[in-house]
Amino acid sequence: MARRSRGLGSGGTDIAKAVRSRQFPASAPHPGLSSAQLLELYYWMRLTRTLEERLVALYRQTKVVGGLFRSLGQEADSVGSAYALERGDVLSPLIRNLGSMLVKGATPVEILRQYMAKGDSPTRGRELNIHFGDTERGFIGQISPLGDMVPVMAGVTLSFKMRRERRVGLVYVGDGATSTGAFHEGINFAAVQRCPLVVIVENNGYAYSTPTARQTAAARFVDKAIGYGIPGEQADGNDVLAVYDVTRRAVDGARNGEGVTLIELMTYRRKGHAEHDNQSYVPEGEIERWERENDPIGRYVARLTGDFGFSPGDVTAIDERVRDEVDVATDLAERSAPPQPLDALVGVYADPPADKPLWYRPTGEAAVVSHERPEGWGTYSASAAERAR
């Protein structure tokens, strides 16, 4: 057996073998999940995909200011894992965890405004794409240097431990970020301190253009757990119920004082690093094979209408609801104005609250005088949060 995987689906792991042979273990739904929740998992995955498809349309109309990052084919790993958290828990997403953020209460209009660099976007136009957070709703925005959120989430969960709060943190890294020093330092720190932290490695086969075989000599990322003295578990990242189950067990353990767990989710990145990336480095037929054989949404719909006895109408009703929600959010976001230039000088520090424009620029008043979280930010409401739970 080849010790090193070459590209995705050709590795030596059980899950990779299952993918190749198209024999997926049929994971039973976690006993805690109700019928309504089984449908809700589908809702979040569908919302993720539809929202991204809308973003592609806006990108092609040049309404998205920067790059566009897709999670096509990875919706189950984001949604299933975030769904295992309680309301007071905190996660830190990566660029392909739009689904996790939606589950935690981020709204489509926020995402759209953020991508379109609007003045009422969650970062007031300072940051791109899904780089934003809200500690009240329980997600902390990532930064571009990979791995950095692992130490940060070690500290977030250290504070839970210090205050004896029964809260848990979840941090996502990709296969590429496991090569960074920050990943190592953060997970080691959290393990030593027995912080209530779950670390998910999303193994989607590529870090930009670099396949996992050029990222690590390890056969499995989950084996790194041994080196940190923590439990590790690998799961099928395209099976939303398996993702929920493995994350839920790790979250429960963390909440019960058992410290850090490393989870490796096997999935596949069907789009390029960003929308501009033509994926010329991917072996021919690989993407199509994953699309055909292992689409997380397709697989879950088959289970909903097969094993779980839902009607096709139950599924299409959700599809329609999602389309309506994304339509409404798009209309709303497109109406938003860009930020005022002088707002750029507000909020670097708490004190002083703003800097002055340089002498060769006209003076004036910034539209915002203090850089607090905007009131009525996004369309967040208690009812949306209730729905999220």
Partner 1 sequence: MSEVTYLEAIREALFEEMDRDPNVFCLGEDIGRYGGAFKVTDGLLERFGEQRVIDTPISETGIVGAAAGAAHMGMRPVVEMQFIDFIANAYDMLTNYVATARYRAFLPCPMVVRGPSGGYVRGGPFHSQNPEAGFVHTPGLKVVYPATAEDAKGLLKAAIRDDDCVLFFEHKYLYRRIKAELPPGDHVVPIGKARVAREGRDVSVITYAATVWKALEAAEQVEREDGLSVEVVDLRTLSPLDDDAIQATVRKTNRALIVHEDTRTGGLAGEITARINEQSFAWLDAPVLRVTAHDVPLPYAPSLEDFVLPQTGDIVHALRTLAAY
What residues line the site for partner 1 (CB under 8 A)?
A: 123, 126-127, 131-133, 135, 140-141, 143-145, 148, 150-160, 162, 181-182, 185-186, 188-190, 192-193, 347-352, 371-373
In the complex with partner 1, the residue whose CB is nearer, 349 or 383, is 349
In the complex with partner 1, the residue whose CB is nearer, 138 or 237, is 138
Query: Could you write out the three-class secondary structure of 311-344?
Result: CHHHHHHHHHHHHHHHHHHHHHHHHCCCCCHHHH
Both structure tokens of 375:
């009131």
Q: How far is the CB of 185 from partner 1 (least distance, A)?
A: 3
In the complex with partner 1, the residue whose CB is nearer, 32 or 145, is 145
Give the separation between CA 203 and CA 16, rounded to whole angstroms. Answer: 11
In the complex with partner 1, the residue whose CB is nearer, 228 or 268, is 228
In the complex with partner 1, the residue whose CB is nearer, 80 or 347, is 347
Q: How far is the CB of 237 from partner 1 (least distance, A)?
A: 25
Q: How far is the CB of 173 from partner 1 (least distance, A)?
A: 13
In the complex with partner 1, the residue whose CB is nearer, 269 or 371, is 371
Query: What angle, rounded to 10 degrees, do the helices at 296-305 and 75-82 form?
Result: 60
Give the separation between CA 347 and CA 363, rounded to whole angstroms. Answer: 17
In the complex with partner 1, the residue whose CB is nearer, 83 or 189, is 189
In the complex with partner 1, the residue whose CB is nearer, 224 or 371, is 371
Q: How far is the CB of 133 from partner 1 (least distance, A)?
A: 6
In 3-state terms, what secondary structure has residue 235? strand
Q: Are 374 and 132 in contact (CB under 8 A)?
A: no
Q: How far is the CB of 348 from partner 1 (least distance, A)?
A: 5
Both structure tokens of 196:
């209530």
Give the separation between CA 272 and CA 85, rounded to whole angstroms. Answer: 29
Residues in Cβ contact with 82 at an 8 Å cutoff, skipping those fewer than 6 apart: 91, 97, 99, 100, 101, 103, 104, 170
Q: How far is the CB of 39 from partner 1 (least distance, A)?
A: 33
Q: Report which residue type is found at 135.
A: T
In the complex with partner 1, the residue whose CB is nearer, 309 or 359, is 359
Radius of gyration of the chain (CA): 21
Q: Are 199 and 263 in contact (CB under 8 A)?
A: yes
Both structure tokens of 231:
């439990």
Query: For residue 305, which of 246, 387, 297, 290 has the smallest C-alpha distance?
Result: 297
Query: For residue 241, which of 301, 316, 167 has the smallest C-alpha distance?
Result: 301
Q: How many other CB atoms sit within 10 Å of the CB of residue 31?
A: 6
Q: How far is the CB of 288 from partner 1 (least distance, A)?
A: 38
Q: How far is the CB of 355 from partner 1 (least distance, A)?
A: 8
Give the separation between CA 388 and CA 337, rounded to whole angstroms. Answer: 28
Q: How far is the CB of 2 from partner 1 (least distance, A)?
A: 34
